[in-house]
Amino acid sequence: MVDVDSDLPPSEVTTSGETEAERYLRQEILSGKHWYIALLEAVRLCDRDEETRDGRTYRYLIKGEACDWLLIAERLLEAVPDLIPEMEKAALLFHGEAPLTLSAEEFRELLGDVKYRQYLNYFYGITTEEALTMAVEEEIRKERHVSGLTGETDVVANEAYRRIYGSTRTILLRNFRKEKGYPQQASISLTELKEFTYWLFKFRLKHNEKARIASDTKKALVWLNRQGLARQLTKHDFKQEFVEVVEGE
C-alpha cells in the first residue's frame, strides 16, 4: 500500500505565482518522496479546470467530467525540471509509462475519488474512443487490401465512423458544433478535438445496445494494449471500471 498524505493543502496561488500543488510537489520530492507519488498527490490538489501559462492554455477538464491528468502532470513537472529524471518524465508524458507499478486501488487513493472518477471518464471517453476509431480503420484497411483496393485515408476514416457511429465524421462534427454553438470551420484545435471525441463517446453510449458497446470497447482496449499504450493500466479491472463509467451516465 502506498502512503498517502490525507491532509493535503488546497490548490491556491501563492504570492510568488506558484500554486500550492507546485509547491507541494517540490517540497515532497526534496523531502525524499518518490517523484511519481508526489506528482499524483499534487494532481489531486489541482482544482482548476484550465489555466493559461506563457501563452499556452491548458484545458484539464472536458465537459466538467473528463480529466486529462497527464496534462496536469505535464504542467506541474514544468515547475520542477531539475528534480525529475528526464527519461522517466518522457516515458510518462509521451508513452503513459509510469516509473512505479501501482494497483488501481493505490492509484485511486493517491489521486482521490473525484480525480480518479474524472480520470476514468477521460480514459474511456477519449483515449479509448480514439483507439476504437484506429482499431476499426485498421480492420478496414486489411479488408480493402484483401479485396485489392487501396487504403485512401478519407475513405477508410469515413467508413470507420459509419461503422461505429452510423454517419461520417464530417456530419458528426457538424452536429457536434451546432449543438455546442461552435463555429463551423475547416480546422479543429486539440481541445475541441478532445471535446468532440468525448461527445462521440456519449453518442455511442446513447445509440448502441449494451452488447455492442462492450464489444467495441473491448476492441479498443485490445488495440491499445497491442500498441503498448496501456501498459501502465495493466493491473486495472477494465470491465468493472467501464461499468462504473457507464452507470454514472
Give me the pLDDT at residue 198, please. Answer: 97
Q: Which three cell numbers stand for residue 108?
A: 485511486
Confidence band (pLDDT; 50, 70, 90) for 14? very low
Closest CA to 110 of 182, 172, 216, 25: 25
Rg of the chain, C-alpha, whole Å: 20
Report domain extents, the chain. 20-111, 120-247
Say if residue 9's pLDDT is above 80.
no
Joined together, the cell numbers standing for residue 212 give 455492442
pLDDT digits (tens, 9 = 90+) for 27-79: 999 999 999 999 999 999 998 898 888 888 889 999 999 999 999 999 999 99
Q: Among 3-7, 13-17, 19-23, whose mean pLDDT is lowest?
A: 13-17
Residue 40 CB partners (closer than 8 Å, separation 6+):
107, 110, 111
CA distance 65 to 122: 8
Task: Give me the pLDDT at residue 95, please.
Answer: 84
Dist. CA 199–CA 175, nearest whole Å = 10
Rounded Cα–Cα distance for residues 39 and 109 (Å): 13
Residue 87 has pLDDT above 70, yes or no: yes
pLDDT of residue 224: 86
Q: Are 99 and 91 in contact (CB under 8 A)?
A: yes
Terminal Cα distance for the chain, rounded: 31
- Residues 6 or more apart from 163 whose CB is under 8 A from it? 136, 140
pLDDT of residue 244: 60
- Hey, is 83 helix, strand or coil? coil
Residue 11 is predicted with a pLDDT of 43
Give the burial string for 138-152 (b: 16+ CB within 10 Å, else e): ebbbeebeeeeeeee
CA 188 – CA 160 distance, rounded (Å): 19
197-239 per-position pLDDT tens digit: 999 999 999 999 989 998 999 899 889 888 766 544 444 555 5
Residue 137 or 148, more confident:
137
What average pLDDT is seen over the chain? 86
pLDDT-derived band of residue 249, with 50, 70 and 90 as boundaries? low
Q: What is the DSSP string of 108-158?
A: HHHH-HHHHHHHHHHIIIIIHHHHHHHHHHHHHHHHHHHTT----HHHHHH
Coil, helix or strand at residue 66: strand
Position 15 scores a pLDDT of: 37
- In whole angstroms, give the CA distance from residue 214 to residue 12: 40
pTM score: 0.83
Mention every residue, 6+ apart, whose C-beta is less than 8 A from residue 192: 182
Residue with cell 498517502: 4
pLDDT value at position 48? Answer: 85
The pLDDT, as a whole number, for residue 243 is 56
H/E element, 194: helix 190-207
Cα atoms found within 13 Å of the Cα of residue 102, Cβ hemisphere only: 20
**pLDDT tens profile 113-143:** 999 999 999 999 999 999 999 999 999 999 8
Kindly tell me if the per-residue pLDDT of 17 is higher than 80: no
Is pLDDT above 90 for 240? no
Q: Identify which has the larger pLDDT, 154 or 64.
A: 64
Question: Quick one: pLDDT at residue 45?
Answer: 94
Query: What's the pLDDT score for residue 177?
Result: 97
